[in-house]
């Protein structure tokens, strides 16, 4: 897989970052010769009136806008098909993904369905199955966590089977990303914390895995440093624009790292908890990550000790520094009121969660150490408390 990755297109999105950068969106679209767009978002952002200004600005520049704001927290097949139908019906030429990870993922898969009307969502499940180039996607994140604005992945939910899985293809990677911290200053503290820890999970899992390149390591290191320096500031002072901007860039860097280097068991387990119980992805990753890092032990020590050096955590040797790094993640969670356990996990579901998580992770995720079914069940028990 690592060898094959050198033959794929890893072009990063054209990045626009800074306070007020959303105001550049109409000119960005016009420079791409786009005259009609599908604006994919969720009802919550519509009710908060966050979508009003960008939509008005687009219309003032004679860009036709069709809004789809029905995206659920875990985007469903129905969401994707409804968005695709609106795109086709209104003759759109591009998609704007505005919001957190759910609108982003919905928009990306809707674009894939527009490009591949003869392929179902299920047929695109897995790796490199999108086939045809999608319409342009302009990603505008309103949370700092998923990094979806720069990834080749989209996670979708089949409500009939309670299955949550990823579609992975470089064709899903947005062509443009607009990171405006002013869109995130109103985020509640609990969303700030869990999305930020989601970004940390992306960076750490990418960094300790065996699919790294020099560039993905650099992205991951930058993300971890920025998160340790800025997440709690953004959590405690939501109007700190610089901390918000740094967290948006950290999320972008984490996404750029894992989109090539991949993630690990934290994500595999989190996807199952999201599918079974509707647990928000960032919250699940925040709780799960320390338990998975504990499991890796010596296989991840060297990498974690390097991250410890980067964020200024001291220790006598690699083992001490790695352990201190994991404990600091737990301490960050505690300071931001993120629980240690996910109590909604049912004992009878644990074998199902373990089996499904390992089916997703093995052998695709280049983790430091392979986990077996018994080990995975034991970790899920610890997560459940």
130, 184, 113, 177: which is closest to 150 by C-alpha?
177
- Examine the domain organization and report whether 167 and 304 are in the same domain: no
- Examine the domain organization and report whether 45 and 168 are in the same domain: yes
Last residue of a domain, one of 183, 218, 252: 183
Say whether pTM exceeds 0.85: yes
> Is pLDDT at 85 greater than 80 in this prediction?
yes
> Is pLDDT at 8 greater than 80 in this prediction?
no
Looking at per-residue pLDDT, the higher value among 127 and 368 belongs to: 368
- Examine the domain organization and report whether 253 and 371 are in the same domain: yes
Confidence (pLDDT) at 312: 97
Average pLDDT, the chain: 94
Confidence (pLDDT) at 178: 97
The CATH number covering residue 173 comes to 3.40.50.1970
- Examine the domain organization and report whether 346 and 254 are in the same domain: yes
Confidence (pLDDT) at 138: 97
Q: Distance between CA 182 and CA 245 in Å, rounded?
A: 8
Confidence (pLDDT) at 3: 64
The distance of Cα 369 from the centroid of its chain, to the nearest Å, equals: 23
pLDDT in tens, 66-78: 999 999 988 999 9
> Is pLDDT at 2 greater than 70 in this prediction?
no
Average pLDDT over residues 349-353: 97
Count of domains observed in the chain: 2
pLDDT in tens, 213-258: 999 999 999 999 999 999 999 999 999 999 999 999 999 999 999 9
Q: Distance between CA 129 and CA 218 in Å, rounded?
A: 29
Q: How confident is the model at residue 309 (pLDDT cuts 50, 70, 90)?
A: very high
Confidence (pLDDT) at 297: 96
- Examine the domain organization and report whether 219 and 168 are in the same domain: no
- Examine the domain organization and report whether 146 and 174 are in the same domain: yes
pLDDT in tens, 330-350: 999 999 999 999 999 999 999
Q: How confident is the model at residue 11 (pLDDT cuts 50, 70, 90)?
A: confident
Structural domain range at position 54: 2-183
Q: Distance between CA 197 and CA 287 in Å, rounded?
A: 9
> Is pLDDT at 145 greater than 80 in this prediction?
yes
Average pLDDT over residues 170-193: 95
- Examine the domain organization and report whether 82 and 127 are in the same domain: yes
> Is pLDDT at 190 greater than 90 in this prediction?
yes
């Amino acid at each position: 897989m690592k060898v094959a990755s050198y033959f794929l297109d890893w072009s990063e999105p054209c990045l626009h970052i800074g306070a007020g950068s959303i105001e550049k969106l109409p000119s960005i679209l016009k420079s791409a010769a786009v005259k009609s767009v599908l604006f994919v978002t969720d009802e919550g952002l519509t009710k908060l009136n966050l979508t009003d200004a960008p939509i008005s600005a687009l219309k003032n520049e004679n860009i036709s806008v069709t809004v789809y704001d029905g995206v659920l927290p875990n985007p469903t097949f129905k969401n994707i098909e409804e968005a695709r139908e609106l795109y086709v019906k209104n003759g759109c030429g591009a998609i704007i993904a505005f919001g957190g990870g759910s609108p982003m993922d919905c928009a990306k898969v809707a674009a894939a369905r527009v490009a591949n009307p003869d392929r179902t969502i299920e047929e695109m499940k897995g790796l490199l199955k999108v086939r045809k180039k999608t319409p342009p996607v302009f990603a505008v994140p309103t949370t700092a966590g998923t990094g979806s604005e720069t990834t080749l992945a989209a996670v979708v939910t089949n409500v009939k089977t309670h299955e949550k899985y990823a579609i992975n293809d470089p064709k899903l990677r947005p062509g443009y990303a607009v990171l405006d911290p002013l869109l995130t200053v109103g985020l509640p503290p609990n969303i700030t914390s869990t999305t930020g820890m989601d970004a940390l999970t992306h960076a750490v899992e990418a960094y300790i895995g065996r699919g790294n390149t020099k560039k993905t390591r650099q992205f991951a290191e930058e993300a971890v440093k920025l998160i340790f320096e800025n997440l709690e500031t953004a959590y405690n002072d939501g109007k700190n624009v610089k901390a918000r901007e740094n967290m948006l860039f950290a999320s972008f860097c984490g996404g750029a790292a894992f989109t090539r280097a991949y993630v690990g068991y934290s994500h595999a387990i989190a996807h199952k908890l999201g599918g079974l119980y509707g647990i928000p992805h960032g919250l699940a990753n925040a709780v799960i990550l320390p338990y998975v890092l504990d499991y890796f032990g010596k296989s991840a020590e060297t990498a974690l000790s390097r991250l410890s050096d980067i964020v200024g955590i001291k220790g006598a040797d690699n083992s001490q520094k790695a352990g201190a790094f994991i404990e600091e993640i737990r301490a960050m969670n505690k300071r931001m009121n993120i629980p240690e356990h996910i109590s909604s996990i049912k004992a009878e579901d644990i074998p199902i969660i373990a089996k499904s998580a390992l089916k997703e992770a093995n052998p695709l995720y280049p983790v430091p150490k392979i986990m077996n079914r018994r080990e995975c069940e034991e970790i899920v028990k610890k997560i459940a408390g």
